[in-house]
Amino acid sequence: MRGATGAATRIEAVRGDLTREHVDAIVNAANSSLLGGGGVDGAIHAAAGPELLAACRELRRTRLPGGLPVGEAVATGAGRLPARWVVHTVGPNRHAGETDPALLSSCFTRSLDVAARLGARSVAFPAVSAGVYGWDVHDVARLAVAAVRGWAATPARAGDDTPDAVAAGERAASGIGLVRFVLFSDAALAAFEEALAAG
């Protein structure tokens, strides 16, 4: 494990099983349907039980009839998982021509915005888009670490009530003290450790 500190937020990488993380929120690398899939998404749904699928179906019925857009995030309860919440985000799919790094970075910052609003103090991420969506894990690691560090270090600007400034204020006031990347392989862990060490 290697960790780094961005503002008051500790950032670390471990090899492990995201579904067993005892944190306030885990992040699901979902697809736009929010109704389960393969990889991390399938594992989270299987471990969480039917409550998670029911919560996702309710989101689709009410707030997200067209599905969750790429780069955005939304939260549900966590069903039978040890976490309190699941924050679902949709990573860009390189195989479908979604190659904009800003979309991938947004998965991490929007997930943290959602977790901060929930009151989460600890958040665990997978390597979003590094699996079947075809992004190189080193690129994911570099973008993810930079996004989380930037999110943690964004100051609020007094008197500024634009949406970006409000988000920055929420970040500055958030209690998120730990962001943990939970990786599925030694190679992925090594990529994230390298990104963390790069400062």
Give the catalytic positions in this structure: 41
For the chain, counts of helices (H) and of strands (E) = 6, 7
Closest CA to 81 of 52, 54, 55: 52
Closest CA to 89 of 117, 65, 113: 113
Q: Which two tokens stand for residue 80?
A: 């039978």
Backbone dihedral region for residue 39 (phi beyond 0: left; psi -120 to 50: alpha; all else: beta): left
- Report how far residue 149's alpha carbon sits from residue 127's, in angstroms, rounded to the nearest whole number: 16
Helix (H) or strand (E) holding 55: helix 50-61
DSSP-based three-state secondary structure for 162: coil
Closest CA to 137 of 191, 179, 198: 191
